[in-house]
Amino acid sequence: MDRRSFVLATGAGVALGCGSVVHASESGKDIVIGQSAVLSGALGPSVLLMQSGGRLVFDEVNAQGGIGGRKLNLIALDDAFNPATAQANYKTLIEKHNALACYCGVGAAPTLAGLPLLRASDTPLVGATAVVDSVRDKSEGVAYYTRANQQREAATLVAHLDTLGIERIAVAYIGTPGGEEVLAQIKQAAAKTKVAIVGAVPVAPDASNAAAGGKALAPMQAQATILYLTAGPAVSFIQSARANGATPTFYGMSILAGEVAAKLLGDQSRGIAISQVTPYPWDSSQADSVRFRELAQKANVPVGYHSYEGYISARILVQAMRAAGRDLTRASLHSSLRKLKTRVATLNADFTGGRITGSEFVELVQVRPDGKFLR
The Cα–Cα gap between 233 and 50 comes to 21
Side chain identity at residue 247, one-letter code: T
Asked whether the beta carbons of 344 and 316 are under 8 A apart, the reply is: yes
Asked whether the beta carbons of 139 and 111 are under 8 A apart, the reply is: yes
Side chain identity at residue 127, one-letter code: G
Q: What is the pTM of this model?
A: 0.88
36 contacts: CB under 8 Å, gap ≥ 6 = 76, 77, 79, 85, 86, 89, 90, 93, 102, 105, 110, 114
SS (H, E, C) 142-168: CEEECCCCHHHHHHHHHHHHHHCCCCE
Per-residue pLDDT of the chain (375 residues; tens, 9 = 90+): 443 333 333 333 333 333 334 444 444 589 999 999 999 987 888 899 999 999 999 999 999 999 999 999 999 999 999 999 999 999 999 999 999 999 999 999 999 999 999 999 999 999 999 999 999 999 999 999 999 999 999 999 999 999 999 999 999 999 999 999 999 999 999 999 999 999 999 999 889 999 999 999 999 999 999 999 988 899 999 999 999 999 899 999 998 888 888 888 888 888 899 999 999 999 999 999 999 999 999 999 999 999 999 999 999 999 999 999 888 999 999 999 999 999 999 999 999 999 999 999 999 999 888 888 998
Asked whether the beta carbons of 125 and 44 are under 8 A apart, the reply is: no
Domains and CATH numbers, the chain: 3-148+284-354 (3.40.50.2300), 150-276 (3.40.50.2300)
